[in-house]
């Protein structure tokens, strides 16, 4: 079984994926960490030197490679991954359990306002809300295609993991 976690920025995908992998005795893979290791460049450096289009092609290549391998893993992907290069069809394919870690807009604003990524570091809370709302409007179309959707709003990591394990066992 391949389990793929998707969701917006700072939705705790990596930590939850690691914990799920640990509980199920599976290997954990973070797609962007794998890309950095294989390409011997940071994601930021790839984007700066090769551009977004080439980066998305590289990302798609490694996603296909991981999923084709059919090893039993838990995979964490970044927030944009499902939205490009037909990746959502790969992520929701046969023998793959895709899980969307879904947070409310207000919860995401609170999370990202406390620890903002560089791109939104100087945003007011209202501007951040508008920025996230725009992304969610564009990306939910992809995220919502996941086989399992977990409402994570104001839930502890433990509760989220337990809900995922229950859904996986059904």
Q: How far apart, in whole angstroms, are the C-alpha atoms of residue 148 and residue 127?
A: 30
Mean model confidence pLDDT for the chain: 95
Q: How far apart, in whole angstroms, are the C-alpha atoms of residue 93 and residue 105?
A: 28
Q: How far apart, in whole angstroms, are the C-alpha atoms of residue 106 and residue 9?
A: 14
Q: Are 123 and 131 in contact (CB under 8 A)?
A: yes
Q: What is the pLDDT of residues 21-35, one digit of tens each?
A: 999 999 999 999 999
The second-level CATH assignment, the architecture, of 2-101+142-169 is 3-Layer(aba) Sandwich (3.40)
Q: What is the pLDDT of residues 102-134, one digit of tens each?
A: 999 999 999 999 988 888 999 999 999 999 999
**Domain boundaries defined on the chain:** 2-101+142-169
From first to last of the 170 residues of the chain, give the pLDDT tens digit.
Answer: 899 999 999 999 999 999 999 999 999 999 999 999 999 999 999 999 999 999 999 999 999 999 998 789 999 999 999 999 999 999 999 999 999 999 999 999 999 999 888 889 999 999 999 999 999 999 999 999 999 999 999 999 999 999 999 999 98
Indicate the pTM of the whole model. 0.94
**Sign, CA torsion 36/114/131/102:** positive
Q: 3-state SS of 112-157?
A: HHHCCCHHHCCCCHHHHHHHHHHHHHHHHHHHCCCCEEEECCCCCH
């Amino acid at each position: 079984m391949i389990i793929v976690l998707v969701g917006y920025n700072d939705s705790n995908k990596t930590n939850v994926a690691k914990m799920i992998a640990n509980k199920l005795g599976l290997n954990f893979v973070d797609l962007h960490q794998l890309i950095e290791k294989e390409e011997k460049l940071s994601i930021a450096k790839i984007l700066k030197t090769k551009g977004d289009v080439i980066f998305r092609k590289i990302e798609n290549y490694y996603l296909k490679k991981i999923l084709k391998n059919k090893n039993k893993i838990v995979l964490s992907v970044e927030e944009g991954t499902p939205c490009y290069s037909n990746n959502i069809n790969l992520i929701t394919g046969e023998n793959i359990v895709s899980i969307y870690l879904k947070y409310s807009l207000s919860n995401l604003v609170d999370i990202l306002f406390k620890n903002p990524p560089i791109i939104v570091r100087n945003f007011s809370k209202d501007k951040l809300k508008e920025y996230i709302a725009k992304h969610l409007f564009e990306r939910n179309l992809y995220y919502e295609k996941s086989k399992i959707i977990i409402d994570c709003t104001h839930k502890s990591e433990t509760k989220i993991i337990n809900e995922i394990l229950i859904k996986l066992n059904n």
